[in-house]
Amino acid sequence: MLQVNNIDVFYGNIHALKDISLEVNEGEIVTLIGANGAGKSTLLKTISGLLKPKHGHILYLTQQIAGKPAQGIVKSGISHVPEGRRVFSNMSVEENLELGAYLRNDREQIKKDIQQVYELFPRLDERRKQLSGTLSGGEQQMLAMGRALMAKPKLLLLDEPSMGLAPLIVKQIFEIIQMVNQQGTTVLLVEQNANMALSVADRAYVIETGKIVLSGTAKELQESEEVKAAYLGGL
């Protein structure tokens, strides 16, 4: 479904992603794990069009999307939940969800989909009219995910959904990620919480200083000595 082929991305002079390739097949949850500053977010931003790769191709459903403007990529079915949630804190929960459906014009269906998001996240339903800046971190994460789902994505990019959240909330969020996946959305999940990520994913990649250093099924990586030592608390 998504094929990233040998991309290089620079921030000014900094070579942030070096010759990265990865693949996401339809229906999968693929996770990308790695330490802070390894380039995980950079890769997601490049896929969603916020950054442009200097070299390489990104193929999505046989279409070349590298360097296309972000709105075109959203339209083609890729939604990105950014790191730190980035909800529009000056707007209500409902307005945030409406913005998620910005490119759609089917009003009736949008209303139904908002209801569906509320079913998925009942906490948001209770807070419809509340300014999203007043929500807790977990609720903001739910809102950011709900907002992304409003675009009806085929591929959902999630950037560190567990960041700064209590373990119980993290568990809930991951259950929802699995649920969304079962309903037919492919997921590319970036995480520092390798344990959690590997437990829900089908396949995984490990990224270190801008390079993919390991890849395999989630199970293989869970058992790999290197991964255990570096990311799973060295058991």
Partner 1 sequence: MEWLQQLVNGISLGSIYALIALGYTMVYGIIKLINFAHGDVFMLGAFIGFYAIARWDLGFFPALIIAMLLCAIIGVIIERVAYKRLRNATRIAALITAIGVSLLIENTVIYFRGASPEAYPEVLSNKSISIFGANISSQSIMILGVTIVLMILLQFIVHKTKIGKAMRAVSHDPDAARLMGINVDNTISATFAIGSALAGAAGVIFGVYYTRIDPLMGVLPGLKAFVAAVLGGIGSIPGAMVGGLVLGVVETVVSALGYSLWRDAAAFVILILILILKPSGIFGKNTREKV
| Residue 50 within binding range of partner 1, rule CB under 8 A | yes
Binding string, residues 117-156; x marks residues near partner 1 by CB under 8 A: ------------------------------xx--x-----
Q: Are 187 and 110 in contact (CB under 8 A)?
A: no
Which of residues 8, 23, 98, 220 is near partner 1 by CB under 8 A?
98
Q: Which residues pair with 182 in a beta bridge?
A: none
Based on the shown chain and the rule CB under 8 A, indicate whether residue 109 belongs to the binding site for partner 1: no
Residue 49 binds partner 1, judged by CB under 8 A? yes
Using CB under 8 A as the binding criterion, the count of chain residues that bind partner 1 stands at 26
Integer Cα distance of 67 and 100 in angstroms: 22
Q: What SS3 class is residue 108?
A: helix
Q: State yes or no: residue 82 binds partner 1 (CB under 8 A).
A: yes
11 binds partner 1 (CB under 8 A): no
Q: Which of 8, 19, 23, 95 binds partner 1 (CB under 8 A)?
A: 95
**H helix intervals, 52-106:** 70-75, 93-100
Q: CA nearest 222: which of 211, 233, 213? A: 233
* Exposure b/e, 146-158, CB count within 10 A at least 16 = b: bbbbbbbbbbbbb
Residues in contact with partner 1 by the rule CB under 8 A? 48-50, 69-71, 74-75, 79-80, 82, 86-91, 95, 98-100, 102-103, 147-148, 151
